[in-house]
Amino acid sequence: MALTGATGFLGLRLLDELLRRHRSVTVLARGAPDQVLERLTRGLDRFAAPHTTAGLAARVHVVPVRLTEENLGLTGSAHRELADALDVVWHCAGNTTLDGDPAVLRRVNVEGTRQVLALAGAGRRLPAVFHVSTAFVAGARRTGTVYEDELTDAYGFEGSYERSKYEAERLVHAWARATGRPAVVFRPSVLTTGLPPHPDLPEHPLLNIERALTEIGREHFGPGRGPELLLPGQSRFRLAGRPDGQLNLTPVERAAAVMARLAELPRGEGVQTYHVVHGRDTPVDVLRALVERLAGVPVAIVPELPDPTPHESLTDYVGGVFRYLRQRRRYDDSRVRAALGPPDVPQDIGVEYLMAGLRPPDTGRPPMTRRPPPHLPDPRPEGTHR
């Protein structure tokens, strides 16, 4: 069994779930094996059960690869040997920078997927393929119901990240048709956690909100330091969106557990797609309150912003999660419910829960560390999936 993206926000939780169910896992990652293993060990030690991390060096085999290179950067013989040893391939690695360079996103998310599928097709054991996508392949469709079997570009996309993940899914479908082999696609929504940040843990995706606010305010935020966002006489910072909007957020720990359970089920023909989402959508007003807490100024969601201030205008440029404040669509997860039964709906996603995952306990200061975004040169494995 091989897993890409194990050092990422979702990938580390998936590794935990896989180690609970299997004796060993092969991690495909960029970097020296001993350094990757050390990083995995430190991360798992923050939340995994002791019996999961015990003897980790004997249970996790790290193979250094380059996700975007031909044969994953391996020699021909090494690539064949790896392919022949695999019975399952999990592809979780990816660049999750919502407003990243389209060329970089495509190279990692599309070409990287192509190389992983090539690995899965080269082995003698015909491995099962599990591909982690995103519910946001639904693109710029902002209302209605998105079904698990839908995969279309008819609505366009909110950004380059969504398009790259859509193209990657298309590759999975093409691979399944060409090889006559089944594949499973998981589409998680926005992943969150209530686990406080720590330098040993992968970075929370919603830290992009804080970065965007920092960029808009031109300096780091702390209690009482948000008024730089407001011009003289301005009483609140406005964000364009639907005051009655909603966005699906789900705990990363639950998402990983659901994926691992679904992977244990018999596989049908073709591509099976599952929406791994929360049973209840989160009101946009919760995100408004989160931004208010992070920025330290009153925040309002307004349907239109015809006269934005200079700082408000910058939200169009930093984009990111702000563009999703306009959504009120829902994701159908009938296939997940049919497979696993009625879900145990986790807690509602509230401001306190979100803040717990973004700030260290007992302090109002930003997280302890700020790692480079995935599209910048970084010694970590290539990309971090949600």
- pLDDT tens profile 293-310: 888 889 999 999 889 988
User: 93-129: per-residue pLDDT in tens?
Assistant: 999 988 889 999 999 999 999 999 999 999 999 999 9
Is 95 within a domain?
Answer: yes
Residue with tokens 């989402």: 277
pLDDT at site 377: 30
Is 237 within a domain?
Answer: no
Cα–Cα distances (Å) from 77 to 4, 63, 89, 122, in that order, read: 20, 14, 19, 12
Is 292 within a domain?
Answer: no
User: 63-78: per-residue pLDDT in tens?
Assistant: 999 999 999 999 999 9
Work out how many domains the chain is built from and give that number. Answer: 1
Is 145 within a domain?
Answer: yes
In the chain, the largest separation of any two C-alpha atoms, in whole Å, equals 70
Residues 6+ apart with CB under 8 A from 278: 189, 248, 249, 250, 251, 345, 346, 349
List strand residue ranges (DSSP E) for 67-136, in order. 88-91, 128-132
User: 141-187: per-residue pLDDT in tens?
Assistant: 999 999 999 999 999 999 999 999 999 999 999 999 999 999 999 99
Q: Which two tokens stand for residue 378?
A: 């970084």
Is 209 within a domain?
Answer: no
Answer yes or no: is pLDDT of 362 > 80: no
CATH number, residue 124: 3.40.50.720
Is 219 within a domain?
Answer: no
Is 238 within a domain?
Answer: no
CA atoms within 13 A on the CB side of 328: 8
CA terminus-to-terminus distance, the chain:
21
Is 197 within a domain?
Answer: no
* Domain coverage including residue 123: 2-192+249-276
Q: In the predicted model, what is the mean pLDDT of the chain?
A: 88
